[in-house]
Amino acid sequence: MVIITVLAIMLQSYWAKQLTLAEVYQQNWLQSRLALLTFLFKIGPLTAIVCASAILVITMLDNKMLAGNLFYTFISSWSASVLFAIFFTPLLLLIKKPQQLTPSKRFFIIFASCLAFIAIGLLFKISQTVQLHERQNMFMQMKGDIKQAIEQEVALAVSKLNSLSAFIKASQEVSSSEFNLFAEQVFKEDSAIRALEWAPIVEQTQRANYERQATSIMEQSNSEKMKIAQEREVYAPVHYVYPSLGNSIILGFDVLTNSTDVLTMTDIMARDNVVASAPINLIQDDHSNPGVLFYLPVHDVGKHTETPFLNNSHYKRSLLGVAVAVVQFEGFFNQMSELAKYDIDLFIEDVSSTESYILFGMQLNNSNRHVEQLDLVIYSRHWRINLVDQQPWQMQQKGWQTWGMLFGATFGGILFQLLILMMAAYSSELSAQVMRKTQELIISKDQSEQESIAKTNFLNTLNKELQTPLQAISLFIEQLKKTQQQQQQVTINNIDLAQKNMSQLLDMVLICRKLNQAN
């Protein structure tokens, strides 16, 4: 999976490089705000789709599941990829290629971007930690509720078993009808008990007498089939069972033959309290619903004048037999599993010995999931209850707070980084505008100087060209004044006046040339 993740990141990087090759090569991605927006869109939201899709596929393969909140996984991966790209790609470019920014501006952009990225990362981490703590608290509450429910259910079963034991102790002789009537009253309260059994103690010497009065004593073969019990010192055959419907096959079965999974006769006689068995497959049921047997030794308290079928003084003469409660917890655990909301699976096993026995559920996948364990001691048995998320946290249903935090932090980070880079882009735009205006002013000044020189040259040329005719006119006027008659004098004066006006005009041209040269 690590290799696939690295390949996905490399694919995204390659795609981003191909999309922004021209901008990076020409160093123009920060030259204007429009160029910056285009560049950030290419390296962020667009190429992040590749990384998000790859992470989604990896998550599905890693968790071996196609269900769950895959949309959140995709969006969160896309968000992380976008934020990482738009924060660190410009920084790497600024460090490698200064982009004609001053050191102070580069330092400000790098420092602000790193600080914002760390703040957003901490915000995401704190939000996720808070949510995980809330789920952990929910797990702890459910552990307490499940522990209380199991203890109450076991206590209810044991109380019924104690009631049956007290009934047997108080009766001189228990008939089938009396047993069924009493058990029927006990069964009125709903519980996980499948059957109540009474198994009296029978010695080998009394076996024939018992089988004539009741039924053959049976045991289970290695192939889990019923057969006639082999000879041994003592038996505890099931004499009564309630309800008989679906359980009558157990009549005559020696409950002590379950010693591998339960306890030996010596262990039962050594105790006066309830003893629980390991989960076993019941003879009267299929193997899909294991049962737990609760044994309670029943001793004579003086009501019985004799102990039926037990005459050997090697055993306690007060031991009448064993009351058994057959409990199947699957229905009860199913109810608890339905009550255990928020997509949590239950797995319950008996770990009293080196070999564990499954009580409920299947072995769970604990990878990337929150797991809580609860250990219970149930009458010499050690039960372990595992509470596991059905799906990893990333694929669980999210509330509006999670979605709000995700979108808020994502778009907030994008806008912050965009604002920081926009300032640099705007500064670049201003610098470009200043340089452009400066060039325009320089060009305008050169043009003005060239025009001024051209005017000066024109005025000089005009002055030189007019000086000669004016001097000739002035000379001719002087000659005419001397030679002409009185009647022509008026005309000569007029010509002289015109010559003087042209001289004044030339003087003004000279003044304009000087002023133009001064400018």
pLDDT exceeds cutoff 70 at 226: yes
DSSP β-bridge partners for residue 360: 348
Amino acid at 369: R
- Of 307 and 18, which is predicted with more confidence? 18
- Of 84 and 473, which is predicted with more confidence? 84
- Of 375 and 42, which is predicted with more confidence? 375
- Of 159 and 468, which is predicted with more confidence? 159
Q: Is residue 209 part of a domain?
A: yes
Q: Are 30 and 99 in contact (CB under 8 A)?
A: yes
Cα(133)–Cα(126) distance, integer angstroms:
10
Structure tokens at 437: 């205006």
Please tell me whether residues 100 and 11 are part of one structural domain: yes
In this structure, how many other beta carbons lie within 10 angstroms of the beta carbon of residue 504? 10
Report the half-sphere exposure of 434 (CA within 13 A, side-chain side).
6
pLDDT of res. 295 = 86
pLDDT of res. 309 = 47
pLDDT of res. 371 = 84
Weakest mean pLDDT among 75-84, 281-290, 301-310: 301-310
Please tell me whether residues 424 and 328 are part of one structural domain: no
pLDDT of res. 3 = 63
Structure confidence at residue 484 as a pLDDT band (50, 70, 90): low
Cα(253)–Cα(359) distance, integer angstroms:
23
pLDDT of res. 306 = 43
Please tell me whether residues 413 and 291 are part of one structural domain: no
pLDDT of res. 490 = 66
Please tell me whether residues 102 and 156 are part of one structural domain: no
Tens digits of per-residue pLDDT, 461-479?
Answer: 766 766 766 676 777 667 6
Please tell me whether residues 219 and 329 are part of one structural domain: yes
Q: Is residue 369 part of a domain?
A: no
Please tell me whether residues 161 and 249 are part of one structural domain: yes
Tens digits of per-residue pLDDT, 116-144?
Answer: 888 888 888 888 788 788 888 888 888 88
pLDDT exceeds cutoff 60 at 330: yes
Q: Is residue 254 part of a domain?
A: yes
The last residue of a domain, from among 335, 364, 381: 335
pLDDT exceeds cutoff 50 at 305: no
Q: Is residue 381 part of a domain?
A: no
Q: Are 217 and 237 in contact (CB under 8 A)?
A: yes
- Of 303 and 410, which is predicted with more confidence? 410
Please tell me whether residues 103 and 181 are part of one structural domain: no
The CATH number assigned to the domain holding 194 equals 3.30.450.350
Please tell me whether residues 200 and 318 are part of one structural domain: yes
Please tell me whether residues 191 and 324 are part of one structural domain: yes
The last residue of a domain, from among 437, 472, 488: 437
Burial 79-111 (b: 16+ CB within 10 A, else e): bbbbbbbbbebbbebbeeeebebeeebbeebee
Structure confidence at residue 423 as a pLDDT band (50, 70, 90): confident
In this structure, how many other beta carbons lie within 10 angstroms of the beta carbon of residue 372? 17
Q: Is residue 373 part of a domain?
A: no
How many domains does the chain fold into? 3
Q: Are 350 and 356 in contact (CB under 8 A)?
A: yes
pLDDT of res. 269 = 64
Across residues 22-45, what is the average pLDDT? 75
Contact partners, residue 407, CB within 8 Å, separation at least 6: none
Q: Are 136 and 272 in contact (CB under 8 A)?
A: no
Q: Are 82 and 406 in contact (CB under 8 A)?
A: no
The last residue of a domain, from among 335, 357, 377: 335
Structure confidence at residue 263 as a pLDDT band (50, 70, 90): low
Dihedral (C-alpha) 282, 283, 286, 292: value to the nearest 10 degrees?
0
DSSP string, 91-107: HHHHHHS-TT--HHHHH
Q: Is residue 204 part of a domain?
A: yes
Please tell me whether residues 424 and 445 are part of one structural domain: no
Q: Is residue 368 part of a domain?
A: no
Across residues 210-222, what is the average pLDDT? 81
Q: Is the pTM of this model over 0.75?
A: no
Most confident range, picked from 65-69, 385-389, 490-494: 385-389
Please tell me whether residues 160 and 287 are part of one structural domain: yes
Q: Are 215 and 207 in contact (CB under 8 A)?
A: no
Q: Is residue 202 part of a domain?
A: yes
Query: Of 147, 150, 26, 160, nearest to 93 (Cα)?
Result: 26
Q: Are 199 and 255 in contact (CB under 8 A)?
A: yes
Domain region containing 79: 2-131+394-437
Please tell me whether residues 446 and 431 are part of one structural domain: no
Where does 379-496 show beta strands of DSSP type E? 381-389
Q: Are 149 and 336 in contact (CB under 8 A)?
A: yes
Structure tokens at 134: 């809330």
Place of tokens 């009065």: 213
Across residues 352-366, what is the average pLDDT? 80
As a whole-number percent, the residues of the chain with pLDDT over 90 amount to 0
User: What mean pLDDT value characterizes the chain?
Assistant: 77
Across residues 405-419, what is the average pLDDT? 84
Cα(455)–Cα(138) distance, integer angstroms:
94
Tens digits of per-residue pLDDT, 231-262?
Answer: 888 888 888 988 888 778 888 888 877 655 54
Cα(120)–Cα(112) distance, integer angstroms:
12
